[in-house]
């Protein structure tokens, strides 16, 4: 796939936008990786999502973005207030991808929206 490609796989009824009502308290885990690893990580995370290996009703979907120098995968969740389940999702990401914890960035949608400058 060429860079610039974006793939979204979400649970039925949830749109891949922060403004979706089911993502009011949403957040995401971001994984930035070399192009050589992206296909494997995407496949493994997608199978984990489809196979219901993540905590029930917490993972909303996955997003893949192909960039010129690197690729990004994001695991979107519905409830940033459920700390126990968030820790389980993070542990599952680490288990599935075999990446180090320091390579995972976590951001809450509300916090990111508040930091954006007004136009």
**Domain limits, the chain:** 6-13+20-110
Confidence bin at 111 (pLDDT 50/70/90):
confident
**Order of strands, edge to edge, in the sheet holding 6-10?**
6-10, 59-66, 71-77, 27-33, 104-108
Q: What is the pTM of this model?
A: 0.89
In the block, residue with structure tokens 């796989």: 9
Secondary structure class of 97 (helix, strand, coil): helix
CATH class held by domain 6-13+20-110: alpha beta
Q: What is the pLDDT of residues 70-87, one digit of tens each?
A: 899 999 999 999 999 999
């Amino acid at each position: 796939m060429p860079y610039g490609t974006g793939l979204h796989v979400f649970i039925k009824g949830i749109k891949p936008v922060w403004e979706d009502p089911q993502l009011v308290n949403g957040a995401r885990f971001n994984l930035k990786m070399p192009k050589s690893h992206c296909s494997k990580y995407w496949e493994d995370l997608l199978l984990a999502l489809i196979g219901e290996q993540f905590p029930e009703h917490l993972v909303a979907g996955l997003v893949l973005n192909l960039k010129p120098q690197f690729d990004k995968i994001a695991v979107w969740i519905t409830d940033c207030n459920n700390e126990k389940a968030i820790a389980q999702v993070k542990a599952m990401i680490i288990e599935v991808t075999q990446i180090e914890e320091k390579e995972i960035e976590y951001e809450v949608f509300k916090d990111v929206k508040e930091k954006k400058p007004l136009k």
